[in-house]
Structure 1
Amino acid sequence: MNIHETAELEEQYQQYLVDRSVQQVKKYYLDSKHEIDFGNMILKKNRERELHRTFYPGVWFKMNTSPYQMQLHAKINKIQIDNQLNDYIFPVVLAPIPPPKSVATTTVLKPFIEISVVQWVVPNSTVKQYKYATMLIQEFHFKVDLMFLTALADMFAAKVSDEQAAKLFNVNVESIEKPLSDLVETHSAQEQKNFYDNLHLGPIKIHVSFSMAGSDTTALPGILSTLVQGVGVTLTDVNDVVFRLAFFEREYQFFTQQQLTSEITAHYTGQALKQLYVLVLGLDVLGNPYGLVVGLKKGVEDLFYEPFQGAIQGPGEFAQGLALGVKSLFGHTVGGAAGAVSKITGAMGKGLAALTFDEEYQKKRRLHMNKKPQTFSEGIARSGKSLVMGFVDGVSGVVTKPVAGAREEGVEGFFKGVGKGMIGFVAQPTAGVVDFASGSFGAVRRAAEGQNEVSRLRAPRYVHQDNVIRPYCRAEAEGNRVFKEIEKGKYAGTDVFIHCEEVVPKHEFLVVSNHRVIHATKNDLFGTYSVQWKYRYENIDAFTPTDKGLEIRLKKQNKKVMGMFSTNEVVRKQIFIKDPKRRDRLIEILESQHKKL
């Protein structure tokens, strides 16, 4: 089955499982015309055909050997590398790009990387002869930011002691004193040449995105650090720049391992250098004009190509191809133009945010901008919120920044806060206007092009206070993510996450920290988490199980009414949890934190 049919069949099967769980009986169809019987796993297409639901393993490997040859066939069917930092620009570093809809209706699912090698076994010879060696890589995107690269370098950085450095220095000095011929002979003796009848590495198409936002420029003095960051972010960010690297092929040649690596590196380096103009013309500050022109060209091609492909199969497919062609042309023209404006304003917004001198504001803005909306209305709503919050933060910062600075650094901090407040009074509302324009045009682009953003496969691992790496727990990771996003991370700086109970799936949560209990709900339109109520443990009297869940009883509070009468009011909060095991476990966690007082 092709990619389109496989995806639709899986979607119908998941719906069947949901309907069966609630004992609902209905009919299911493939392409709205072929009936599917999931009970007996039969597809009625021209005739009854048996269905077998299976899956592609992440890595597939096969090797055959005989006295005369060795065959190796390996596949990496799908791979995705996520950015696990909490403060990020791009949530996904590497992921395959799905094929266009027209291709998905005619081809089967292909592996991301496929390698095939056939080696002749030559008796009484040390030379390895490869009859056939090929590798094919599908189109993919590669998105990195400077914070991710810095964290990666810190993780793999090896600390060299003074003694090791001295030994390495002496070895280098000795190699300089030796004649060059000795080194060449040594390397030649160590490496054995292999013979390649046919070596082919397929062409590579990469969508590259890079950002310097959030980079560390603290080594630079004073205001120069902020200016370098602001200008650097504005002038160096690129998004979805396409590099097309031609195939590498060699026939009937001898290579050592080092020579082969050198040839491949030189080939792809040369290919990349020839396309440096793509990198320059793909800068966000210019609106990626190269991508806009290539998109227009692709839209015009699809307008003629898609109907032609459909006409070969039949009149119905011709109409479908015509619709796909018109949609592609519309998406690449309207969506491309809106995307260009969105990128220009987005780059300006990043620069303005860097010039506010407010790291907390920059971090909140990054988290807000990195949450890509799923629908057009959601994109417009979030852009409007950015506009309003830009004015609110700018005006309120005039008062709050000096107070916060005085609390942290005294008189010096007060005057720093006054400066930050005055700059933010101008820069933050301006950044809000620019972000509103960027988000609105971005929503238009996504709606026109029908793009689906790639999301993380799982939330970042939660590391406990003891810094011990434990087996990954999805519940802990998702709970910690919700905790860090409640009111834009208001409690993440003061509290330690303990537990998160999902009361209503994907909407209502009870979050337990080491200081308080928080009842939060998710706003689906803005994608934010707001607090319904919160209580510190010293204000809580007891946790009591009930038939419907649990009850949180607060301590009596003497409240005066009209400044004269006092009431002994007891507040009770009900949490509805049907599963007794989940309820009892939650009460146990709450009581353990309550007893620590």
Structure 2
Amino acid sequence: MDNRHQSEREYIRYHGATSGEHLVAGIHGLAHGIIGGMTSIITSTVEGVKTEGGVGGFFSGLGKGLVGTVTKPVAGALDFASETAQTVRDMASLSNHRLGVQRVRKPRCCKGPQGLLPRHSATQAEGQEQLFRLTDNIHSEFFIAVEPIDSYCVLISSKVVYFLRPGEYVDREAIFLEVKYDDLYHCLVSKDHGKVYVQLTKKAESTSSGVAMPGPSHQKPMVHVKSESLAIKISQEINYAKSLYYEQQLMLPASENEDCLLLES
């Protein structure tokens, strides 16, 4: 209720620009609040008599002064705390800028195959970053698993299986085999002349009449894997990701689901 005191307080608060000036402004604000509280009764009473006059102005100014005795020191303490916090923030930001602080680890995968938050894994974080590079940061296709092999890498997403050539930077040119789940019939482990392969059997193509033929086709690309246990693991992960994909196809988006659940009275 003291416009003059409030104007002086705002001037002190917004006068500081650097971290050192913020601290000085906080100290000045605290001192201004304490002094204002100590002199509030006298200054407010005199101001009330001058502006309003008579007994009414006297008691009005006295009431404002009594209130200001408590509120002005509290406001000064809050200003001091606010300006001190701003000083700490400015110094921390300046220190981080000077030190050149960089990320310690890559961003974690925030969505696991079951929709839960998985434990951080450096390998999965690297695989997620590779997927974002391949899809130009399209988040509708999310990461499921990655299996680095000696001569290549298997990257499994929610829509596609990518087989990538090794390299420090992954882009579309690194893909030597790409199979979408819409085209995949099943994935299994195959053996030939003592070597183990991951076989991705594609679906049969549509006939000339446009009718889709159920079952596998003759297109069965195979990728060599160094061990049978790893081939089984990759095959299980691909089939699991494929089942998740078709499960998502049967689910309605949230907005459509809400519209369809409205019952007629």
Q: Provide the TM-score with structure 1 as the length reference.
A: 0.22
Larger Rg: 2
Q: Provide the TM-score with structure 2 as the length reference.
A: 0.44
